Chains A and B, each alone.
Chain A
Amino acid sequence: MSKLASLLVPGLAGTGVLIGGAYVAANMMVPQVHTPVAATLGLTAQAQQTAPADTVVFDLGRPATAAEIAAWDIDIRPDGAGLPDGSGDVWTGEDLYIDNCAVCHGDFGEAIGRWPVLAGGQGSLTNDRPVKTIGSYWPYLSTVYDYVNRAMPFGNAQSLTDDEVYAVTAYLLYLNDLVDDDFVLDRETLSTFEMPNRDAFYMDDRADTEYAIFTGEPCMENCKDTVEITARAAVVDVTPEDEAARIARQAAATGTDIGVTEADASAQVAAAETDDPVEEGTTPLAATATDNALADAGPDPELVAAGEKVFKQCSACHQVGDGARNRTGPMLNGIVDHPAGVVEGFRYSKVFGQFAEDGLVWTPEELSAFLAAPRDYAPRTKMSFRGLESDDDLAAVIAYLGTFAQ
Chain B
Amino acid sequence: MTKKTTRRDLLRGGLAIAGAGAFATTAARAQGDPAITELQPWMQQLGEGVDARPYGMPSPHEAHVKRRSVEWLTADPVSSVNFTPLHDLDGIITPNGLCFERHHAGIAEVDPAQHRLMINGLVDYELVFTMEDLARFPRHNKVYFLECAANSGMEWRGAQLNGCQFTHGMIHNVMYTGVMLRDVLATAGVQTAGKWILPEGADASGMTRSIPMDKALDDCMIATHMNGERLRPEQGYPIRLVVPGWEGNMWVKWLRRIEVGDQPWHHREETSKYTDLLADGAARRFTWAMDAKSVITNPSPQAPLTHGAGPTVLTGVAWSGRGSIPRVDVTIDGGKNWHQARMDGPSFDKSMHRFYFDFDWDGKPMLLQSRAHDSTGYVQPTKNQLRQVRGENSIYHNNGIQTWAVDARGEAENVEIG
Interface residue ranges, A against B (CB under 8 Å): 1-5, 7, 31, 33-34, 37, 54-64, 68-69, 72-79, 104, 113-115, 125-126, 128, 130, 132, 134, 137-140, 142-143, 146-147, 150-151, 154-155, 157-158, 200-206, 209-211, 213-216, 218-225, 227-234, 236-240, 242, 244-245, 248-249, 252-254, 256, 258-260, 269, 275-285, 287, 312-313, 315-316, 384, 386
Indicate if the CB atoms of A278 and B81 lie closer than 8 Å.
yes
Are the C-beta atoms of A73 and B105 separated by less than 8 Å? no
- Is there contact, CB below 8 Å, between B192 and A77? no
Interface: B379 (CB within 8 A) = yes
List residues 228-287 of chain B with CB under 8 A from any CB of chain A: 256-257, 259, 261, 263, 265-268, 271-273, 275, 277, 279-287
| Distance between Cα atoms of A130 and B392 in the complex (Å) | 10
In the assembled complex, B166 has its CB within 8 A of some CB on chain A: yes
Query: How far is B158's CA from A282's CA once the two chains are assembled, in angstroms?
Result: 11
Chain B residues whose CB sits within 8 angstroms of the CB of A115 once the complex forms? 75-76
Contact (Cβ within 8 A) A54 B200: no
One of B127, B191, B409 near A256 (C-beta < 8 A): B409
User: With the chains together, A139 CA to B154 CA distance in Å?
Assistant: 25
Q: A56 and B191 in contact (CB under 8 A), knowing A132-B272, A146-B267?
A: no
- Which residue of chain A is the closest to B338 with respect to CB atoms? A220
Q: Judging by beta carbons under 8 Å apart, are A281 and B73 in contact?
A: yes
**Are B75 and A230 in contact (CB-based, < 8 A)?**
no
Given that A4-B189, A139-B271 are contacting pairs, would A157 and B288 also be in contact in the complex, using a CB cutoff of 8 Å?
Answer: no
Inter-chain contact total with CB atoms closer than 8 Å? 358
B contact residues vs A (CB 8 Å cutoff): 63-64, 68-81, 102, 104-106, 109, 118-121, 124-129, 133-134, 136-137, 148, 150, 153-154, 156-163, 166, 180, 182-183, 185-192, 194-195, 198, 200, 204-206, 208, 213-214, 217, 256-257, 259, 261, 263, 265-268, 271-273, 275, 277, 279-289, 291, 301-302, 304, 306, 329, 333-339, 367, 371, 376-381, 385, 389, 392-393, 395, 405, 409-411, 413-418
Report Cα–Cα, A276/B114, bound state, in Å. 36
CA distance A78 to B283 in the complex (A): 18
Q: Once the chains bind, are A282 and B395 in contact (CB under 8 Å)?
A: yes
Residues of A within 8 A of B166 (CB): 239-240
The distance in angstroms between the C-alpha atoms of A157 and B158, with both chains bound, is 37
A residues in contact with B77, CB < 8 Å = 312-313
Given contacts A239-B162, A279-B273, contact A221 B338 (CB under 8 A): yes
Contacts of B163 in A (CB 8 A): 239
Q: Are B337 and A253 in contact (CB under 8 A)?
A: no
Our pick among A130, A206, A209, A278 for the contact of B150 (Cβ within 8 Å) is A278
- With A5-B191, A7-B186, A223-B335: A230-B416 Cβ-Cβ less than 8 Å: yes
Contacts of A33 in B (CB 8 A): 189
A126 CA to B393 CA, complexed, in Å: 9
Are B271 and A138 in contact, CB atoms less than 8 angstroms apart?
A: yes
For residue B186, which residues in chain A have a CB less than 8 angstroms away from its CB?
4, 7, 54-58
Contacts of B256 in A (CB 8 A): 72
| Given contact pairs A154-B79, A253-B409, A229 touches B417 in the complex (Cβ within 8 A) | yes
